[in-house]
Chains A and B, each alone.
Chain A
Amino acid sequence: MRKYLSKRILSSLLAITGLFVMVFFLARLTGDPGHLYLPIDAPVEVRKEFSEKHGFNDPIYIQFGRFLEDLSEGDLGYSLRKERPAIDIVLEAIPVTLSLAAVAMTIALIGAILIGSLAAYKPNGLFDRISRVVSLTAASAPDFWIAITAILIFSVSLGWLPTSGIGGLPYWIMPIGILVIRPLGLLVQVVRGSMITTLSSDFVKTARAKGVKEKKVIFKHALRNGLLPVITVAGDQAAAIANGAVIVETIFGWPGIGKLMIDSIMQRDFAVVQASILVTAIVILSINIIIDITYAILDPRIRHK
């Protein structure tokens, strides 16, 4: 297991390196940041000086070399706009997104396990049919539309919840609610499918033959086996949120990593783009490693490989 993990981490590092090289060059394909940074009527000399100062005139491989040199000293560059180290800005934004993702995924996962398992217990029963329609709707609903409608209803008409910003519990309700919907819908379907298969497997028959109560048959014997495919999908969903819940963050004014990334791309703030991509990549790869570990915890057959 330890050997497997270190191998996994090593290959993740390789992936991050590759990603980083790609981002560096792709970002520079979008054009000169000076065009966006300086006023439209800025004289040519000013533009030249700006480019000179930030090294944008140098051949790209020299820029890359400089970038690597800085990186080796732990320096991810300086934000052009905010005039602060890029990494500081990113490290302020990431906890916001991560806490959104963590809360939303926990709720989605628990909800999906309960609803999906109960639906799977009697396939085509009333509960199953209702949950199937609702989960399909939830999985395919456009989140920007729900967000705007929710603001309209709960903030504008009813005045129950704040429209945007961060703060106490009321500020969390709508963003979390909207982030939960899609993963919940999707996960209910995955849990249901997986549990139907597991509940008809032979070891469930053995458990019943031992006289184990149905509740335990479902939530002990079947669930732990049925969870394996669910974990994979849940991990993907968590990664998607961590990658920037852009829409929710923008609509509700949460200063998370998604919003930061979009803003810095718009402004060609290369250092911030690079730093945010590096940090999110690390987060996503960590999520993947966590999934692998969870797999091994749930299934001894993987552990013993």
Chain B
Amino acid sequence: MSNNVNSLLKVSNLAVSFDTVEGSINAVQGIDFELNKGQTLAIIGESGSGKSVTASVIMGILSCPPGRIKSGEIFLNKQDILKLSEIDRRKLMGNKIAIIFQDTLSHLNPVFTVGAQIAECFEVHKNYTKKESWDKAVKLLDRVKIPNPYKRAKDYPHQFSGGQRQRVMIAMALALEPDIIIADEPTTALDVTIQAKILELLAELRDERNMGLILITHDLGIAAEVADKVIVLKNGKIVEKGTLKEVFIKPKHKYTKELMNSIPGKFNQRYKRSDNIDTNPILEIKNISKSYDTLACDNINFNLFRDEIIGIVGESGSGKTTISNLILRLIEPSSGCILYHGRNIFDFDKKELFNFRRKVQIVFQDPYASLNPTMNVFDIISEPWIIHNDFLHKKLHQARISELLTSVGLKPSDSKKYPHEFSGGQRQRIAIARALALNPEIIICDEAVSALDVSIQAQIIKLLKDLRKQFSLSYLFIAHDLPVVKDLADRVIVMKSGEILEEGNVEKVFNKPVNPYTIDLLKSSPSIEKLLSN
């Protein structure tokens, strides 16, 4: 036990395994770390690194079985909490240690009001009356800056926005003023400006109450913004730990260096598209508006040229996806037109539309949901050829699939496998191969790298760049993640509430933004640049 008077939590030699049908999997393999009062420790790692398992063990919510704590000690106030009885352990949960989860819609009980869910903390741990607990809950909602808390406490989780739900979650964690808050990817699903506010709130509350904060994240930018100390996890082992600057500026381990290199937004290796190959745009979006109950996009104008990448940036509800649906002609516009080589796609007859669809393909965000689990890779990639049956003779399918798989960095032998046999990054490669199958001119990438880990993200971005060079493709790259766009796009369009607020060359938009919203967006986007420039 250390003599550090500020020490809150000390984890030593923690090892956790999961018993599965195929044998035991070691998720966490002997990790040690210490957390002090008023300090933020970031646990960084990609999916499967064991960071969330570590959090569940500290919190006491690891499901056993299948989980099993093989060894280790976790000291909280000089007491090994792993040795406590179930009843004593429960007294700590939510009381001394609290947790904030990522997906707030699924982590809040849909059938109880948020007020009741926060008040429950007091009912569980203190002998407060219902009324007292409720009043405290309302106060907490006010503290996390939910407007009109008295009224909102009676609302249900689905009636809040994502950012507000995360605030509710934070209020719940704060209720009993715990010593430690574990934040497990607390802002992953949120827009950047909201993310910035949530992170700010967490830091503010940590300082106010001198709490220890464990921030679990795969986003290095977030860690760079808020952490004091960092540990980097890979395959259940700590590969590097130290202060923020030590780890980020002078990483020692090969994996950490690789991670740091994967961070998007460094402006390196930009590919200059050759000017004047084709001065006529492939696609002209002209005065396009689309309204449902509200205006989803309003008088949008831009052109897309051959061999060009346009990044469309905006937060949820900005109209990015509406534009992609309009270009694919999945929906009809309320007014305006889209010209493809000078002809309005909304005037196309059935046959013309069929031919047009060949030329515009899409890669979706979630590679787990966008590939049919019952089809193997061969069927997935060859399906477009079955629909467009004059495109490629059946005898040539196998050869072409081998080519396509090779060009997206997979093996020809992978064509017999099913989607579940691949990792997220590999699945996205399959989705890209499918998009390439019909030799398209335009590929729309709708948040195509958002769900991927940074190192995988970097690989996919590189692949997209290579493919563009090879096939002179044009991309419409829709993203909420600014650094990725900065790496990939030639031109950037910034959208908000269905309108284009700013448009221009990527250098100009990122370095000399004009619109206040763009400036705010760039400021909110977590990045390691500020850390590096200090």
Residues of A that sit less than 8 Å from B by CB? 200-203, 205-213, 221, 224-225, 298-301, 304
Contact = CB atoms under 8 A, between A and B. Distances in A.
Given A203-B109, A300-B110, A212 B120 contact: yes
Given A202-B103, A203-B107, A304-B156, A209 B95 contact: no
Interface stretch (B85-93, B223-231, B495-503): B85-93
B59 interface: yes
A201 B107 CA distance: 8
Interface string B46-81: 000000000000011101000000000000000000
Given A202-B101, A301-B156, A304-B158, A210 B110 contact: no
Given A209-B93, A213-B90, A203 B110 contact: yes
B389 interface: no
Contacts of A301: 110, 156, 158
B106 interface: yes
A210 B133 CA distance: 14
Contacts of B90: 211, 213
Contacts, number: 71
A300 B107 contact: no
A301 B95 CA distance: 30
A209 B156 contact: no
Interface string B323-338: 0000000000000000
B213 interface: no
Contacts of B61: 205, 208-209
B108 A210 contact: no
A40 B121 CA distance: 80
B103 A210 contact: no
B158 A207 contact: no
A211 B125 contact: yes
Contacts of B98: 209-210
21 contacts: A201-B106, A203-B107, A203-B110, A205-B61, A206-B108, A207-B109, A207-B120, A208-B60, A209-B60, A209-B61, A209-B94, A210-B94, A210-B98, A211-B91, A211-B94, A211-B124, A212-B120, A221-B112, A298-B111, A300-B111, A301-B158
Contacts of A201: 106
A209 B121 CA distance: 10
Interface string B117-149: 000110011000000000000000000000000
A227 to B, nearest CB: 9
A203 B106 CA distance: 6
Given A203-B110, A298-B111, A210 B120 contact: yes
A143 to B, nearest CB: 35
A300 B116 CA distance: 14
Given A201-B106, A209-B59, 17 more contacts: A200-B63, A202-B106, A205-B101, A206-B101, A209-B94, A209-B98, A210-B98, A210-B121, A210-B124, A211-B95, A211-B124, A211-B125, A212-B120, A213-B124, A225-B110, A300-B158, A301-B110
B488 interface: no
A203 B108 contact: yes
A221 B112 CA distance: 9
Contacts of B112: 221, 224
Contacts of A300: 110-111, 156, 158
Given A209-B94, A210-B93, A225 B109 contact: yes
Chain B interface size range: 20 to 34
A109 to B, nearest CB: 18
A212 B156 CA distance: 20
Nearest to A203: B109
B110 A299 contact: yes
Contacts of B215: none
B66 to A, nearest CB: 12
A225 B121 contact: no
A210 B90 CA distance: 8
A265 to B, nearest CB: 45
Given A206-B101, A304-B158, A299 B111 contact: yes
A203 B103 CA distance: 10
A2 to B, nearest CB: 19
B156 A211 contact: no
Nearest to B108: A203
B159 interface: yes
Interface in B162-207: 172
B186 to A, nearest CB: 13
Contacts of B99: 209
Best-surrounded residue of A205, A210, A304 (most CB of chain B within 10 A): A210
Contacts of A210: 93-94, 98, 120-121, 124, 172
A207 B121 CA distance: 9
B2 to A, nearest CB: 27
A169 B150 CA distance: 52
Contacts of B106: 201-203
A297 B63 CA distance: 31
B33 to A, nearest CB: 20
A200 B63 CA distance: 9
A271 to B, nearest CB: 47
Given A209-B93, A300-B156, A202 B120 contact: no
Contacts of B91: 211
Contact of B93 (A208, A224, A299): A208
Contacts of A202: 101, 103, 106-107
Contact of A206 (B63, B107, B156): B107
B180 to A, nearest CB: 12
A221 B109 contact: yes
A205 B55 CA distance: 12
Nearest to A225: B111
A300 B90 CA distance: 30
Contacts of B124: 210-213
Nearest to A213: B90
Q: Which 9 A-B pairs have CB atoms at the shortest separation, nearest pair first?
A: A210-B94, A211-B93, A202-B106, A203-B109, A211-B94, A300-B156, A202-B107, A211-B90, A206-B107
Nearest to A299: B111
A202 B91 CA distance: 21
A95 B337 CA distance: 66
Contacts of A206: 101, 107-109, 172
A206 B63 CA distance: 13
A229 to B, nearest CB: 14
A225 B112 CA distance: 10
Interface string B479-512: 0000000000000000000000000000000000
B86 to A, nearest CB: 9
Contacts of B92: 211
A103 B107 CA distance: 37
B365 to A, nearest CB: 21
